[in-house]
Amino acid sequence: MKLNDLGEFGIIAGIESKFLDLIPSGVTGIGDDCAVIPLEAGRSLLVTTDMLVEDIHFLRNDISPYDLGRKSMTVNISDISAMGAKPYAAFLSLALPVDIETEWVEKFSEGFRSHEIPLLGGDTTKSKSAIVVNVTVIGFSDDQNIKYRSGAKPGDKILVTGTLGDSAGGLKVITQKFVADEDSHKLIEAHHNPLSYVKPGEWLGGRLEVTAMMDISDGLASDLKHIIEASKVGTKIEINKLPISESLVKVANRNNWDYRSLAIEGGEDYVLLLTVSPESAEQLKKEYSSHTGLELYEIGKITSDRGLVVWLQDDIPLDTDYRGFDHF
Amino acid sequence: MKLNDLGEFGIIAGIESKFLDLIPSGVTGIGDDCAVIPLEAGRSLLVTTDMLVEDIHFLRNDISPYDLGRKSMTVNISDISAMGAKPYAAFLSLALPVDIETEWVEKFSEGFRSHEIPLLGGDTTKSKSAIVVNVTVIGFSDDQNIKYRSGAKPGDKILVTGTLGDSAGGLKVITQKFVADEDSHKLIEAHHNPLSYVKPGEWLGGRLEVTAMMDISDGLASDLKHIIEASKVGTKIEINKLPISESLVKVANRNNWDYRSLAIEGGEDYVLLLTVSPESAEQLKKEYSSHTGLELYEIGKITSDRGLVVWLQDDIPLDTDYRGFDHF
């Protein structure tokens, strides 16, 4: 069988299945954004790793080395923030074709450093053609603050920390080589330099009313499925409530794109997706705003219809099945 | 400037220099085989990461997926063992061209699992052409057992845990496409499936008379320089004492190779290189043998001639400067 037929999650499941009997007792988070490894005194170590491959995740001529360096770090610290923890340090492996200039590496390093996460090790090697970046980030957290995908309960509100679909819109602008106006540039910026939620993530980790959390990297449709599978629940999402940026609406309308599909199916927004006990949602939104200066957007709720995702428009179920993004 | 002119260590130094001010206090091991991060109660976390790129580190048609999986783990746990610690878990990132069969992934996973180190996370993605494997391994150790490159003292004996040059010899057999007899096969096996020293490494970690330790991945000449630079000492190596396998001698003699150069300059043997207080060396060798069933080979000593590497033959200095292996 070819890998295409299996897909990314199929491949991962196949590999993971061979290691189930080796998982040390007390380790959790397998299948979450990070592995969670128990330490002493109610503390845990969190570990995540992500690989970015040229021509798959980025095009060398489209993204600046600074943005690539910054994004390589952003996507990894996002996994730590998505569990309510604090990133502590990073490890970087870099495969570089020999025609890369040292200035490129210089700029990449500056971008990688821009989040001010310490780099404590890594590996550098030659590559025949593609640039490959692999980053591992570790974080620490008190056990009680760690948010898993499995904690959502029927009735919980579903919230996100930022607008959806901008990154996918930016990718469309880049690949379709549109003449970029100001709004298109904002979308490209969202794709090349997504926001990170380090302080918001850690703050949400400290809130007991947050029952589950993850980041949206594969798209809302795909990532929601992870939460409802892990939590053994269902969900209803009101698509009119999805936070969508003005820039995405404008660029989409001008080009006859469906911006809702981009918001639901597009990947790489790296906003946090969380579920909150219904009685605490309003208070949490207020406190979050005053602590972070940012907004939490309520987009739907968790139901007891296990495995079921219902997309509503003005409370009426849509006859649409949205899909997430798969790099295979 | 092109990367070739800078070399692997130049690139790493350039990146690292940007992060010096961010290193958290108490963290050590930067530039050693692993970063060492202090935890509670006199324990530390060790982290290492390594990237293997197709056509740079291996040829898809020459190494079986099982051996590649196993070696990807071996080279990483070797870094943990090299500091006297115990590997705890691994994280695997895999970039795979779509023409790879699922059976290949299956066999790779079996090899990766063969050391019985838990896999706790990772990333799988598509690649346009090359297979890329990145592995991060973490380990734990009592602080007092961790061996650094910086602990060698003048007078210390220098020892290695296994024969040198077999892996480089195997690579020569593979790339020069020799008809492989039994001895050549042993060298190929040493290249594709190097021994690991997990239990010996941990045991040596517990011995206070071991003053410095690392693994030989870039070749003895290159790695010795790391120890003498970190320890601010020099070294004298007796090349007649280098442990060289019968197979390497035979294959080398048949093909007019200089097996001593292979043993000194060849990389990827992944044996441990350690320095030991002179008065304890004999006793350590004995106890090591009875504990592990293996042998420690004494190859030279540490001197106070800072930065100086002297290669001796029958106690007479050679007029040769050996170099290590650089992937750039």
Say how many domains are in chain A: 2
Torsion of CA B247, B63, B176, B241, to 10 degrees: -30
Selected residues 52-91 of chain A with any CB under 8 Å from a CB in chain B? 53-57, 88-89, 91
To the nearest whole percent, how much of chain A has pLDDT over 90?
86
One domain for residues A153 and A141? no
What pLDDT is stored for residue B11 in this prediction?
83
Whether residue B128 and residue A53 make contact (CB cut-off 8 A), yes or no, is yes
Task: Please check whether residue A327 lies inside any domain of the structure.
Answer: no
Query: Token match 């404008």: residue?
Result: A250
Percent of chain B with pLDDT over 90: 86
Rounded Cα distance, A13 and A32, in Å: 13
Domain boundary among A145, A164, A198: A145
A166 plus A132 within the same structural domain: no
Confidence of residue A1 (pLDDT cuts 50, 70, 90): low
Give the chain B residue nearest A33 (alpha carbons): B121
B141 and B184 together in one domain: no
- Shared domain for B78 and B176, answered yes or no, is no
- pLDDT tens per residue across span B239-267: 999 999 999 999 999 999 999 999 999 99
Q: Which residues have CB under 8 Å from A220's CB, separation 6+? A: A160, A164, A237, A242, A263, A264, A265, A273, A322, A324
Domain boundary among A96, A121, A145: A145
Considering the domain architecture, whether residues A260 and A192 belong to the same structural domain is answered as yes
pLDDT digits (tens, 9 = 90+) for A104-159: 999 999 999 999 999 999 999 999 989 999 999 999 999 999 999 999 999 999 99
Q: Give the residue from chain B lying closest to A88, CA to CA.
A: B24
Query: Cβ B134–A134 below 8 Å, yes or no?
Result: yes
Put simply, whether A306 touches B (Cβ < 8 Å) is no
Q: Are residues A51 and A116 in the same domain?
A: yes
pTM, two decimals, is: 0.94
Position B190 scores a pLDDT of 96
Is position A328 within any domain? no
CA separation for the pair A30, A101 (Å, rounded) = 39
pLDDT tens-digit profile of A23-62? Answer: 999 999 888 999 999 998 899 999 999 999 999 999 999 9
Where does a domain end: A86, A111, A145? A145
Please check whether residues B228 and B116 belong to one and the same domain.
Answer: no
Residue B324 within any structural domain of the chain: no
The answer to whether the CB atoms of B91 and A35 lie below 8 A apart is yes
CB-closest option in B3, B102, B129 to A6: B102
Q: State residue A12's pLDDT score.
A: 80
Q: Let me know if B246 is exposed, middle or buried by CB neighbors in 10 A (0-12, 13-18, 19+).
A: exposed
Q: Are residues B262 and B301 in the same domain?
A: yes
The C-alpha atoms of residue B311 and residue B235 are separated, in whole angstroms, by 8
B20 shares contact with chain A (CB less than 8 Å): no
pLDDT given at position B6: 73
Q: Domain with A159 in it: what CATH number?
A: 3.90.650.10
Q: What CATH number should be reported for the domain holding residue A24?
A: 3.30.1330.10
For residue B256, being part of any structural domain is answered with: yes
pLDDT digits (tens, 9 = 90+) for B190-217: 999 999 999 999 999 999 999 999 999 9
Query: How confident is the model over B49-75, as pLDDT tens digits?
Result: 999 999 999 999 999 999 999 999 999
Q: Is residue B123 part of a domain?
A: yes
- Asked whether the predicted pLDDT for residue B324 surpasses 70, the reply is no
Would you say A136 and A89 are in contact if contact means Cβ atoms under 8 Å apart?
A: no
Contact between B127 and A130 using a beta-carbon 8 Å cutoff: yes
Give the residue, B285 or A10, on which the prediction is more confident. B285
Q: State mean pLDDT over A268-292.
A: 97
The predicted pLDDT at position A41 comes to 84
Per-residue pLDDT at B81: 98
**Cβ-defined contact of A126 to B328 (cutoff 8 Å):** yes
Q: Do B98 and A3 touch (CB under 8 A)?
A: yes
Query: Which candidate in B40, B53, B148, B149 is best for mutational testing of the A interface (most A CBs within 10 A)?
Result: B53
Q: How far apart are CA A160 and CA A276, in angstroms?
A: 11
User: Is B323 part of any domain?
Assistant: no
- Determine the structural domain holding residue B95 and report its residue range: 3-145
| B137 and B267 belong to one structural domain | no
pLDDT higher than threshold 80 for residue B143: yes
Who among B8, B130, B134 is closest to A93 (CB)? B134
Is B33 within a domain? yes
Q: Looking at the structure, tell me whether residues A112 and A240 fall in a common domain.
A: no
User: What is the rounded distance in angstroms from the CA atom of residue B94 to the CA atom of residue B105?
Assistant: 10
**What ipTM is given for this predicted complex?**
0.94
Residue A82 C-alpha, separation from nearest chain B C-alpha, in angstroms: 15
